[in-house]
C-alpha cells in the first residue's frame, strides 16, 4: 500500500505536481467506488471532481490515524451515496453507452467491460465490495475498514456476490 504522507505535505505546500501524482495513484479506486454506488457514467466525473475538491478543502483536518486512501475513499463513498439518495432512482446503463462506462485507461478494462452486466445484478454493497477487491486490489480487511463493517461480513458479501455472478453466467450461457 502506498505511503501518501510525502505527497500530502507537498500538496499542503501548494505543489500541483504532488496533487497530480496523488490523483493518478488514486483515481481508479475513487472511480470504482463511485461507479459501484451510482452505476451512472454521467455522474462519475462530477462526483470524482467533488471528491478531490473536498479532499483538498479538508486535507488540513486529516490526522493520519486512518489510512489516507481509506479516508479519501470514504469521501467518495459518502458523496456517491448522497447523490444516489437525491436521485431516488436506480440508473440503468443504456447498452449504447457501453463505451463510456469505464475510462479508457482503466486497468483490467476488458474484464470490466465484459462484466458490467454481471455487476448490474448485484446490490450496491456487493458491487462496491467486488469492485474494490478486483479493480483496486484491496484486501478484505481494508474494505472492511473503509465500509466500517466487520471483516466476516465483507468476506460473506464478496463470496455471495461471486456466487450470484457465477449463477447468472450459467443462466446466460444456456
* Cβ atoms 115, 108 nearer than 8 A: no
Q: Over the stretch 136-169, which tens digit does the pLDDT of each residue have?
A: 788 899 899 888 899 999 999 999 998 988 888 8
**For 32-41, 82-91, 130-139, 161-170, which range has the lowest pLDDT when averaged over its residues?**
82-91
Distance between CA atoms of residues 62 and 142, nearest Å: 18
Kindly list the domain boundaries of the chain, sorted by start residue: 5-101+109-173
**Could you tell me the three cell numbers for 77?**
463513498
Return the number of other C-beta atoms located less than 10 Å from residue 63's C-beta. 7
pTM of the shown model: 0.67
**Could you tell me the three cell numbers for 78?**
459518502
Handedness of CA 156, 157, 163, 167 (dihedral sign): positive
**Could you tell me the three cell numbers for 45?**
466525473
Residue-level pLDDT at 47 = 95
Q: Over the stretch 96-129, which tens digit does the pLDDT of each residue have?
A: 333 344 444 444 444 555 667 788 888 989 988 9
Amino acid at each position: 500500500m502506498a505511503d501518501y504522507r510525502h505527497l500530502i505535505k507537498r500538496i499542503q505546500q501548494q505543489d500541483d505536481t504532488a496533487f497530480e501524482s496523488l490523483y493518478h495513484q488514486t483515481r481508479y479506486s475513487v472511480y470504482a467506488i463511485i461507479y459501484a454506488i451510482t452505476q451512472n457514467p454521467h455522474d462519475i466525473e462530477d462526483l470524482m471532481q467533488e471528491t478531490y475538491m473536498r479532499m483538498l478543502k479538508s486535507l488540513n483536518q486529516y490526522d493520519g490515524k486512518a489510512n489516507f486512501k481509506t479516508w479519501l475513499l470514504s469521501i467518495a463513498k459518502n458523496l456517491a451515496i448522497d447523490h444516489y439518495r437525491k436521485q431516488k432512482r436506480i440508473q440503468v446503463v443504456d447498452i449504447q453507452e457501453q463505451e463510456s462506462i469505464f475510462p479508457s485507461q482503466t486497468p483490467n478494462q476488458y474484464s470490466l467491460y465484459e462484466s458490467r452486466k454481471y455487476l448490474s445484478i448485484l446490490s450496491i454493497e456487493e458491487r462496491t465490495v467486488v469492485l474494490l477487491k478486483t479493480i483496486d486490489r484491496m484486501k478484505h480487511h481494508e474494505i472492511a475498514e473503509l465500509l466500517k463493517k466487520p471483516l466476516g461480513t465483507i468476506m460473506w458479501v464478496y463470496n455471495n456476490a461471486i456466487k450470484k455472478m457465477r449463477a447468472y453466467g450459467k443462466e446466460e450461457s444456456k
